Chain A
Amino acid sequence: GNSVTQMEGPVTLSEEAFLTINCTYTATGYPSLFWYVQYPGEGLQLLLKATKADDKGSNKGFEATYRKETTSFHLEKGSVQVSDSAVYFCALMPYNTDKLIFGTGTRLQVFP
């Protein structure tokens, strides 16, 4: 079946540290991959996406590369800010469907 596995949190970093949040997936065919961010008290917002192998999604300094050989879509940022503190969800959409399948989420806490 289709599933997404994320590293458990919380991830605690100091401001300007390098961030990696791991995400691996299981899917048949060629899914599209997403990272969503949820700030406290708010709904999810699309952060970035990649629709085919080797694509790199990027937004607001965050990046993730669709690696089909390792079935991964790790989220990275070179220098985090306190304002990046949020819960990050990795998700996939199986090919030719409209269904989003989410991971369990990873809480990021950034301290000054």
Chain B
Amino acid sequence: EAQVTQNPRYLITVTGKKLTVTCSQNMNHEYMSWYRQDPGLGLRQIYYSMNVEVTDKGDVPEGYKVSRKEKRNFPLILESPSPNQTSLYFCASSLSGGALRPQHFGDGTRLSIL
């Protein structure tokens, strides 16, 4: 089954404790992206990647890192999480960027930073 898989689905942690949210897709997609969803703000892009070893900042990259060492994986790293990073996070992928290739979303990761 074609899918985007995120782990963990839920995490409660404390300020300053490094964490990684994994994202993996099995569709051989070139493009991958991370979003955060906050009430009243919709989804905002954190980082995206057009291909292996190519990443770029989205609208809200502060406090996050990503890497794209393999096509299928695009982990999101919070080196020193803070409470304002409490949010619902989504990973998405598409065959290539652009409007003709729909983005497929994972089921989300709910992070709570205390």
Q: Which of A43, A93, A102 has the most CB of B within 10 A?
A: A43
Q: Which residues of B contact A45 (CB under 8 A)?
A: 105
What number of B residues sit within 8 Å (CB to CB) of A? Answer: 25
What number of A residues sit within 8 Å (CB to CB) of B? Answer: 21
* Least CB distance, B85 to chain A, in whole angstroms: 19
Which residues, 1 to 53 on B, are CB-close (under 8 Å) to A?
4, 31, 33, 35, 40-45, 48, 50
Is the C-beta of B108 less than 8 angstroms from some C-beta in chain A? yes
Task: Kindly report which residue of chain B lies nearest to residue A43, judged by CB atoms.
Answer: B105
Asked if A104 and B50 sit within 8 Å, CB to CB, the answer is no
Asked if B107 and A98 sit within 8 Å, CB to CB, the answer is no
- 7 closest pairs, A vs B, by CB? A98-B97, A43-B105, A32-B99, A102-B42, A46-B102, A102-B43, A104-B42
Chain A residues with a Cβ under 8 A of chain B: 4, 32, 34, 41-46, 49, 51, 89, 93, 97-100, 102-105
Q: List 8 A-B contacts (CB under 8 A).
A: A34-B99, A43-B90, A46-B103, A51-B99, A51-B100, A99-B45, A100-B43, A102-B42
